[in-house]
Chain A
Amino acid sequence: MVDFSLWDIFRNLLLAARWTVGLSLMAFVGGGLVGLALLVARTARWPGAERLTAGYVQLFQGTPLLMQLFLAYFGLALFGVDTSAWTAAAVALTLYTSAFLVEIWRGCVAAVPKGQWEAAQSLALNFGEQLRYVVLPQATRIAIAPTVGFLVQVVKGTALASVIGFVELTKAGTMITNATSQPFLVYSCVALLYFALCFPVSLYARSLERKMNVQR
């Protein structure tokens, strides 16, 4: 049996943490795009869009992320898509993220005073222009702090991808535990790395929030 020094454990975990970061970014960017599309559909009051997004949000916020991952993993295979753990995790996390982001952003758009819409309308801007030049710039300022805060939840969510066999930080921890039988040490290191990833983001989100509150 190969002996693992503390540095070996840490280095292997660090290498695996790249995949945690990659998956988080993938889910965050993908979820942001899907969320934005849903937000526009909802704000534009397309028939049925409001109910549909509400149902979508309820569905993804009211069920465990783990089940969503399993469904993506086995569901995509059912439709004949050749699923790797990476594809399934990326799809599930993207949808999950989009459901939370659309709900956060909906609140931010609603926080823009109604007069802003009316003023934009009175300047003969069409809906797209109203949204793009008047409402979204203001909503974005409100949205940044909670959106950054949610990023922490996405990073933590990627840990569940380990269950469908995607080798990121948590899965690497399990594998190294099996090789070294030092669960206490290994999972401490895993937790430490997650903390190192998430805590700065949390602090940043909090400082953004404080800045917002001072300005208002």
Chain B
Amino acid sequence: MRIELDFIAVLLQWPLLAKGVLWTLGLTAISATIGLVLGTLCAWARSSGPLWLRWVVGAYVEIIRNTPFIVQLFFVFFGLPAAGVKLTPETASVIAMVINLGAYAAEIVRAGIDATPRGQFEAAASLALSRVQTFFHVVLPPALQKVWPALTSQIIIVMLGSAVCGQISTEELSYAANLIQSRNFRAFEAFIIATGIYLLLSIGVRALLNWAGPRYLFGGRRG
């Protein structure tokens, strides 16, 4: 038996692949930004919010963490329109990714917040900082620094998870691979190349976040 592989046929469609990569990166960037903010707010609510809010956030975190992303995505894209909210595939993808990342990020950031020594709170109180000031200037930066590797991994998991968004015809990388293989029937080659690109993306994004985190997110203001 001979196996013939024709990668060139796939690579000739590089504009499609490039567009897919841009969509994947764009979706990831938007949902990582909003997701981290959402996660931080939820972490704050869970560690020092009112009791009812802790309950709501706790339920949100558990529901998201114990159901598959694809079901969340289908629920947003197919389920919500039935309830009167119409969404484009791209908006639905971003919403699902944000909701998903928010739940995981909440748990991760909370772990960082819990690890803050008591003395830090006391020091902040003795400087007459308000609770909000204490949270954003004293508690959050070192907490983020501590859990940044975990957050980076989670962002990459969400990026890889976004491959599923092609199923609701968001034109990201896996959608591009699917489109190419439906044109030239080189399914295996198309998916090999897409997988290789995803691998490079996850290595690249990890390096980028490792570099950018300390510089722009939690390192700058101290010192």
Contacts and interface: CB of A to CB of B under 8 A. Distances in A.
B191 A159 contact: no
B191 A70 contact: yes
Contacts of A67: 163, 174, 177, 191, 194-195, 198
Contacts of A79: 3
Contact of B74 (A182, A183, A199): A183
Interface string B61-84: 011011111111011001111110
Given A74-B188, A159-B71, A195-B67, A63 B195 contact: yes
Secondary structure call for the A interface: helix
A26 interface: no
A187 B164 contact: no
Interface string A157-174: 101101100000010011
A27 to B, nearest CB: 14
Interface residues of B, number: 39
Given A62-B198, A160-B164, A183-B79, A170 B70 contact: yes
Nearest to B66: A198
- Give the bracket for the number of chain A residues in contact with chain B: 35 or more
15 contacts: A62-B160, A63-B195, A67-B195, A67-B198, A71-B195, A152-B66, A170-B70, A173-B71, A183-B75, A187-B79, A190-B71, A191-B72, A194-B67, A202-B65, A202-B66
The 5 tightest CB contacts between A and B, nearest first, are A159-B68, A64-B163, A183-B78, A198-B66, A156-B68
